[in-house]
Structure 1
Amino acid sequence: MRSAADTQFLVNEALALFSRLQTVRSFSLNTPMVLAAAVSAPAQSAINDHLARIAFDLRRRLQEFVRWMQGPDSQGLSTAEAQAKFVLLKLRFNNLLDQVDIFADVLSQRGEHGTGTWLAGLDVLAEDALRLPGNYFEAPPLICFAERGHGAAIRRARTRLPGGDDNPVGVIQIPRERMVGSGIASSLIHEVGHQGSELLELTKTIRLELDKEAAKGGPEQLGWLLLNRWLNEILSDFWALGHLGIGATYGLMSVVSLPSYFVFRIGTDGPHPFPWIRVRLSLALGEALYPHPQWAALTRQWQALYPTDGLTASKQKLIRMLVDLLPRFAQLVLNHRSQALREQRLADLFPIAERQPAQLQALFRQWQQQPALREAAAPSLVFAVIGQARADGQLSPPQEYQLLARLLTRWALNRARNYGLAPPRVPAPPSHSLTT
């Protein structure tokens, strides 16, 4: 039999939890940022609606628990049984706070001067890189935040949050040390590729083809099995190549430029290709997408940076076998068709024609004369042109930084205006003055 004191204790605990729940407020009310640094209106709405739904449900359940504890229906339960019911509500509250913290970490950075606006510009780049012509899927909102560390990551939309709820937005973590340069696009669009590949079920359908190759047996079987195991990361690199051209590979090289021990550390049980072969995969896919002598030159440079002749015989044998497979693997990926792709070639989903090296070089020359055209172009195209210019030695790192900082700010401000969050552009004052 439960005592009145035990009942009152649990009622008070539930009421205290209910009071603390009132502190979970909409981010629209408590997140300081300039208007241009705000996340997109769809992302803001999705996050606020998601958290409000959970908080509303939890408030309802707490109120029902208090009424139930004070009514006759609960009297047959022991104190321990009543406590077990309350603890489930407390755990749900902690799940909600975990989710609030995930989004708060992202949104609080939007209050940082300069960085917040750049992050909003990167949101625009991310959404551009996920958007494919043809409406192959409903693209979720994407938001970016910077984090210390070397690599990027994504918490994909529609995956599980703490407590089992579906994530309403894709949350992309990018390395702060890469802000701001063209290399940031490689990391960012790689993570976008994880979201896009999942929406198109690419890993699932391409693995079926790799399974067929591995089933043939022979000395190449291990190579096909390894490519199968690494496929998720490879496809994300492919997504970046499809938007950025050679800039994606240069960005990847920057990420994996590590001491030789790590570059040649061959792990066969993880999802990532070892760094040396990962760059070679990017080079092979890039050359298949954008035939040009620059890929052979960059391959030679990578070989010079990390020569293989000092490796053990077994490592050299495995690397030779994988390198021999790369052209066939690249064609398998480019020519892949599936029901989710409406039987179109995978390569044809990406803007390959306009991002050939010659086209990017021509755009760079044109934009030098007409900068307004650059500002009107798609963000991923701008990064592709700048990446090609860096590869060609036409743009120095300081020039790149100044240009990208200005463009990220412009994209953020334009989006804020489109959503009615910022005032319209004010015309520049006349060059002469009317004051004395």
Structure 2
Amino acid sequence: MDTRLRSDALLEMEARGLLARLNQIRPLALHETMVPAAMLPLRAALDIERFLHTGRTVLRRRVEDYLTWLRGPGRQAPPAEQQHRFVLIRMRFNSILSQLDMFTEVVTQRSESRTGTWLSGLDVLADDALRITPLITDPPPAVCYLARGPGAAIRRARTKMPGGDLSPAAIIRIPRERMVGHGIASSLVHEVGHQGAALLGLVESLRKDLAARRPSGTREQAVWRSWERWISEIVADLWSVATLGISSTLGLLAVVSLPRFFVFRPSGDDPHPIPYIRVLLSCGMGEALHPHPQWAAMRASWKALNPVAGLPPVRQQELAALEAGIPAFVRALLAHRSPALGGRALGQVFPTAERTPARLLQLHATWRGDLGAMARQRPSLVFAVAGQARAAGRITPEAESQLIGALLRAWALRSTLASAEQITTTRRVLARAS
């Protein structure tokens, strides 16, 4: 028998080939080119590189240990055991590649003209939106990238990636077609809301609270079970409405303006509310957080665009019961308390007093389109102002798009300069200590 075809020799060649491919994987910092303003946030970049480096180091040791075993006692082991050990290592290798590909997709777009700095600016917005409540003081880093399709998504920080490792950062996918306008903030802050809700344990505590509040009537119970089933998406919408005001609902309309069948389609096991009800919920939450006649007008417009007439009577009754239950549900939602909220009601942990429609319009009038003045504000506040001005007809979609593009670049540049200053300060401290 040709010794090259022995099981241990075949597997040794495969393992050495795997090791050679592993050694060709370069750090992300050497993998892509981009202007400094498009770079990942410093903390995110360091955490991601450290995460990937650790994975490669552990895998390299496993491959080397396997080769040592294969050349020693493993040489006499049954071929099936040799194969089993190698397959486990190769599976881990493929997981490492999947992790690398995921972060490479985030980084690669930073090299695109304009897109790179826009994404860096959106990173700043994501961080600001996570800090919208004082209960979150040290959020995990968040990085954004664009993808085709109408929906946004998030892989939350500290959740499992391929291979079972925990992600070092939140990775937020933004629909490319939403760049750039107030709608981009609506999608982004909704996804940030999922991360914020996870950090505060809101979904679990809310489900328990809603189950305890469930009414006794048969129809009312069915309505409240729907709220419980949809609560993970509802709390993310709440985060967005509390942060952005009507800008959030306007952005939501763009996502759920679908063919009639989909607007009214039952959600089944989908955690997203029925699109028709989801917009009415957004209006209900906005009305409770930021009282103003605009919410009633928005609700009426949505219902006019999507009349329930023509639906089967049973379906109309179901939708009517859900709509009638929104006020009581929103009151329960905003009154929710849990240990993570520090004794406050959920509706009290957001800066709603600073983001009333009247104040947002006042800020719009005060800033008068001054890019420098706006760039110094919290990004989430600026997007809230832009959306409110859009709803009031005080800014055109064209002007809004140009303004937001310029602001994203300004925030990206400011973030880059702040990171450079932080590095310089750290070096000076270390130099003095030595």
Structure 2 length-normalised TM = 0.94
Is residue 18–residue 59 contact of structure 1 (8 Å, CA) maintained in 2?
A: yes
Moved more, 278-287 or 7-16: 7-16
Post-superposition offset of 1:319: 1.2
Secondary structure of the 1:146 match is strand
Tell whether 2:385 aligns with 1:385. yes
CA distance in 2, matches of 1:240, 1:133: 12
Tell whether 2:51 aligns with 1:24. no
Post-superposition offset of 1:369: 6.9
Secondary structure of the 1:22 match is helix
Cα distance change, pair 8–245 in 1 and its aligned pair in 2 (3 A)? same
CA distance in 1, matches of 2:369, 2:160: 48
Question: What residue identity is the alignment partner of 2:29?
Answer: S
Is residue 203–residue 231 contact of structure 2 (8 Å, CA) maintained in 1?
A: yes
Secondary structure of the 2:420 match is coil
Specify the alignment match of 2:427 in structure 1.
Answer: none
Is residue 150–residue 255 contact of structure 1 (8 Å, CA) maintained in 2?
A: yes
Post-superposition offset of 1:212: 1.8
Q: Kindly report which structure 2 residues correspond to 1:204-353, keeping only aligned pairs within 5 A, or say none.
A: 204-214=204-214, 216-353=216-353
Specify the alignment match of 1:166 in structure 2.
Answer: 166
Post-superposition offset of 1:133: 4.4
CA distance in 1, matches of 2:135, 2:229: 29
Moved more, 31-40 or 209-218: 209-218
Is residue 142–residue 171 contact of structure 2 (8 Å, CA) maintained in 1?
A: yes
Tell whether 2:102 aligns with 1:99. no
CA distance in 1, matches of 2:132, 2:235: 16
CA offsets 1:99-130 (integer angstroms, 9 cap, x no match): 11111111101110001110111111011101
Specify the alignment match of 2:360 in structure 1.
Answer: 360
Cα distance change, pair 295–18 in 1 and its aligned pair in 2 (3 A)? same
Secondary structure of the 2:339 match is coil
CA distance in 2, matches of 1:126, 1:188: 7
Cα distance change, pair 423–194 in 1 and its aligned pair in 2 (3 A)? closer
Specify the alignment match of 1:420 in structure 2.
Answer: 420
Specify the alignment match of 2:42 in structure 1.
Answer: 41
CA distance in 2, matches of 1:50, 1:67: 26
Secondary structure of the 1:271 match is coil
Specify the alignment match of 2:407 in structure 1.
Answer: 407
CA distance in 2, matches of 1:222, 1:210: 12
CA distance in 2, matches of 1:384, 1:209: 30
Is residue 121–residue 412 contact of structure 1 (8 Å, CA) maintained in 2?
A: yes
Secondary structure of the 1:337 match is coil
Post-superposition offset of 1:61: 1.1
User: What is the count of residue pairs matched by the alignment?
Assistant: 422
Secondary structure of the 1:139 match is coil
Instruction: Give unpaired runs (5+ residues) of structure 1.
Output: 425-436
Cα distance change, pair 320–15 in 1 and its aligned pair in 2 (3 A)? same
Question: What residue identity is the alignment partner of 1:54?
Answer: G
CA distance in 1, matches of 2:133, 2:334: 17
CA offsets 1:280-312 (integer angstroms, 9 cap, x no match): 000000000011111111111111111112221
CA distance in 2, matches of 1:175, 1:10: 44
Post-superposition offset of 1:199: 1.0
CA distance in 1, matches of 2:297, 2:288: 15
CA distance in 2, matches of 1:15, 1:423: 39
Q: Kindly report which structure 2 residues correspond to 1:127-138, keeping only aligned pairs within 5 A, or say none.
A: 127-136=127-136, 138=138
Tell whether 2:94 aligns with 1:77. no
Specify the alignment match of 2:394 in structure 1.
Answer: 394
CA offsets 1:340-385 (integer angstroms, 9 cap, x no match): 1112111222111110001101000000075432121000000000
Secondary structure of the 1:419 match is helix
Specify the alignment match of 2:196 in structure 1.
Answer: 196
Tell whether 2:8 aligns with 1:7. yes
Specify the alignment match of 1:434 in structure 2.
Answer: none
Taking only aligned residues, the RMSD between alpha carbons, in angstroms, comes to: 1.9
Question: What residue identity is the alignment partner of 1:392?
Answer: A
Is residue 371–residue 407 contact of structure 2 (8 Å, CA) maintained in 1?
A: no
Secondary structure of the 2:173 match is strand
CA distance in 1, matches of 2:120, 2:247: 21
Question: What residue identity is the alignment partner of 2:91?
Answer: L
Secondary structure of the 1:144 match is strand
Is residue 47–residue 169 contact of structure 1 (8 Å, CA) maintained in 2?
A: yes
CA offsets 1:4-59 (integer angstroms, 9 cap, x no match): 84323222221111111011111001111111011101111111100100100111
Question: What residue identity is the alignment partner of 1:47?
Answer: I
Question: What residue identity is the alignment partner of 2:13?
Answer: N
Post-superposition offset of 1:209: 1.8
Relative to its length, the structure with more helix (as a share) is 2
Question: What residue identity is the alignment partner of 1:273?
Answer: P
Instruction: Give unpaired runs (5+ residues) of structure 2.
Output: 425-434
Specify the alignment match of 2:114 in structure 1.
Answer: 114
Structure 1 length-normalised TM = 0.93
Cα distance change, pair 275–234 in 1 and its aligned pair in 2 (3 A)? same
Specify the alignment match of 2:428 in structure 1.
Answer: none
Post-superposition offset of 1:76: 4.0
Is residue 200–residue 341 contact of structure 1 (8 Å, CA) maintained in 2?
A: yes
Percent of pairs with identical residues = 46
Question: What residue identity is the alignment partner of 2:176?
Answer: R
CA distance in 1, matches of 2:114, 2:371: 22
Cα distance change, pair 59–370 in 1 and its aligned pair in 2 (3 A)? closer
Post-superposition offset of 1:215: 5.8
Question: What residue identity is the alignment partner of 1:336?
Answer: H
Cα distance change, pair 83–421 in 1 and its aligned pair in 2 (3 A)? farther
Tell whether 2:150 aligns with 1:150. yes
Specify the alignment match of 1:184 in structure 2.
Answer: 184
Is residue 8–residue 75 contact of structure 2 (8 Å, CA) maintained in 1?
A: no
CA offsets 1:119-172 (integer angstroms, 9 cap, x no match): 111111011101144344641110111111011111111111111110111111
Specify the alignment match of 1:427 in structure 2.
Answer: none
CA distance in 1, matches of 2:24, 2:369: 54
Post-superposition offset of 1:186: 0.3
Is residue 252–residue 279 contact of structure 2 (8 Å, CA) maintained in 1?
A: yes
Post-superposition offset of 1:86: 1.1
Cα distance change, pair 51–370 in 1 and its aligned pair in 2 (3 A)? closer
CA distance in 1, matches of 2:377, 2:32: 31
Is residue 417–residue 423 contact of structure 1 (8 Å, CA) maintained in 2?
A: no
